[in-house]
């Protein structure tokens, strides 16, 4: 077992060696520009891109012509939301999202709001779940887009995308989902869920960083977006710029691996997650599970350790790579907007640590991480007068959810 141990896979995943093997030739002898249509180097690159487009499409049940390659999830989310808002501004100015969306969805809506768009931010329950009926009630004759993430990047809660999609289709409103954390981890099919636009990225599914995609439905309904990057008309005019051929090849390979291995892998990861959870809660009291106990990603475990400041715990775990929440907000000292939306309060929100198990995590690593967490939490609580007071008054408890 090598140290440190990586347990932050919701921030990024290691590139699978099989993916890297597929990519390497496109850095060297097969280095052509996919837009160069007059010689074999360009033809070879174009063929590789189209193969990857098929692989990405197959994973989500789409047609290859509906896949637009981007630089990653942030660009995909911006293109989806801003592109749709600009395209359909003559039909309405109302957009519906949830309070717990990633910043790559929230921030574009703040900009649109400043431009005169009406944005509804739906509340979630204590598990971070959206009520589909709240979506229905919020839709007006001015609504042009609903955007609800498929699975939350911090607490792992899986949204009722299928139910929401039925409502948006019935109402004739476009439905976008930030599917970054869900795709490749749990079944996700754009047609079964009535999703019209979906954001994806390679580096959350054992592919390379710097490569993402946007699924854009071509029929029933045909979705059109106004591009946010112009200059060459690449990707059906929706996203100009020289394609990242090695990254796209890796993205496609990663999608194919997920398609073939997702079912068995999800079972193994959820088993490791449960083991980690029960090892920790079997030795520590006042541990709270954030997110839904059952409707959650198989590799996500988000725990609050009362009387232990999350950043102090992270610093104490010198040989374990963890985070307190979203990697994009890791330098922000404010409490997580996702956790605050669930109503747990600022104290517990600041006591939270996110564990992200991945494809290469071993049982031995789970044992080590659990032991280290238990040790450091006990050390920090020994320094806490509040914990000692609660223990003395017999007010402490173990908070054990069933994560099956």
Neighbours of 58 (CB within 10 A): 15
Place of tokens 């796209």: 248
Q: What sign does the dihedral 62-252-295-266 (CA atoms) show?
A: positive
Q: Which of 252, 225, 249, 222 is nearest to 236 (CA)?
A: 225
Q: Pick the closest to residue 262 from 201, 204, 193, 186 (CA basis).
A: 186
The catalytic residue among 211, 255, 258, 328 is 328
Backbone angles phi, psi at 215, to 5 degrees: -85, 130
What number of other Cβ atoms are within 10 A of residue 1's Cβ?
8
The answer to whether 363 and 296 have CB atoms below 8 angstroms apart is no
Among the listed residues 290, 397, 278, the one whose alpha carbon sits nearest the alpha carbon of residue 350: 290
- Classified as helix, coil or strand, 202 is helix
H helices of 88-201, in order, are 103-114, 132-138, 161-171
* Catalytic residue check, 211: no
16 phi and psi angles, rounded to 5 deg: -65, 135
Residue with tokens 């509040």: 386
> Among all residues, which ones are annotated catalytic?
328
């Amino acid at each position: 077992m090598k140290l440190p141990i990586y347990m932050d896979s919701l921030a990024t995943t290691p590139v699978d060696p099989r993916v890297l093997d597929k990519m390497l030739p496109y850095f060297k002898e097969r280095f052509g520009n996919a837009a160069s249509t007059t010689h074999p180097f360009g033809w070879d690159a174009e063929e590789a891109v189209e193969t990857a487009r098929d692989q990405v499409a197959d994973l989500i049940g789409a047609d290859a012509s509906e896949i637009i390659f981007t630089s990653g999830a942030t660009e995909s989310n911006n293109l989806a939301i801003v592109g749709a808002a600009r395209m359909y501004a003559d039909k309405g100015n109302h957009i519906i999202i949830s309070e717990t969306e990633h910043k790559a969805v929230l921030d574009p809506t703040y900009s649109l709001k400043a431009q005169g768009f009406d944005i509804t931010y739906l509340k979630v329950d204590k598990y971070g779940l959206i009520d589909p009926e709240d979506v229905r009630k919020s839709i007006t004759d001015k609504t042009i887009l609903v955007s609800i993430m498929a699975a939350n990047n911090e607490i792992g809660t899986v949204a009722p995308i299928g139910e929401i999609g039925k409502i948006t289709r019935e109402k004739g409103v476009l439905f976008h989902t930030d599917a970054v954390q869900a795709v490749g981890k749990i079944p996700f099919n754009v047609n079964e869920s009535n999703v019209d636009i979906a954001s994806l990225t390679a580096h959350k599914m054992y592919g390379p960083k710097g490569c993402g995609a946007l699924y854009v439905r071509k029929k029933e309904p045909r979705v059109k977006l106004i591009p946010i990057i112009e200059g060459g008309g690449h990707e059906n005019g929706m996203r100009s710029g020289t394609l990242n051929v090695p990254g796209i090849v890796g993205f496609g390979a990663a999608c194919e691996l997920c398609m073939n291995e997702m079912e068995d892998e999800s079972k193994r990861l959820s088993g490791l997650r449960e083991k980690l959870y029960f090892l920790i809660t079997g030795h520590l009291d006042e541990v709270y599970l954030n997110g839904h106990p059952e409707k959650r990603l198989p590799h996500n475990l988000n725990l609050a350790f009362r009387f232990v400041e999350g950043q102090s715990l992270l610093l104490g775990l010198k040989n374990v790579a963890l985070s307190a929440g979203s990697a994009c907000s890791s330098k922000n000292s404010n409490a997580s907007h996702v956790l605050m939306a669930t109503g747990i309060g600022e104290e517990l929100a600041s006591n939270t640590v996110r564990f992200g198990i991945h494809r290469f995590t071993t049982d031995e690593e789970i044992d080590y991480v659990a032991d280290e967490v238990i040790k450091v939490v006990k050390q920090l609580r020994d320094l806490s007068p509040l914990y000692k007071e609660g223990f003395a008054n017999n007010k402490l408890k173990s908070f054990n959810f069933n994560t099956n």
